[in-house]
Amino acid sequence: NGAATVSYDSTSVKTAVNSIIADLQTVLAYAKRGISGIESTASTADTISKVDTAISAAETVLSLLTALIVSVGVARAAPTPMSEASALAVLGV
């Protein structure tokens, strides 16, 4: 409808990052819809192809960034393993 809205939640670093990622995903979805709505002609086909490739690249980078953030969060949440000697002592080995 000719308008886009983005938001930003600054209550914590996690919510801020999540809101930025969500907004980037929204912007990319709008861009894809905009490109698909443009009729390709001989004069615009190359430009549309380049923009579509750039959108795909941005989606890939965003996916990688999201995966990295999730993996860092999981790594932080994982308990710190005990030393080998402590583990063997607990198991009675």
pLDDT-derived band of residue 67, with 50, 70 and 90 as boundaries? confident
Residue pair 6/28 in contact by the 8 Å Cβ criterion: no
What pLDDT, on a 0 to 100 scale, did the predictor assign at position 69? 78
What pLDDT, on a 0 to 100 scale, did the predictor assign at position 39? 73
| Joined tokens for residue 69 | 């953030």
Amino acid 81 reads: P
Q: What is the pTM of this model?
A: 0.61
Cα separation, 48 vs 89, whole angstroms: 64
Q: Give me the percent of the chain exceeding a pLDDT of 90.
A: 1
What pLDDT, on a 0 to 100 scale, did the predictor assign at position 79? 65
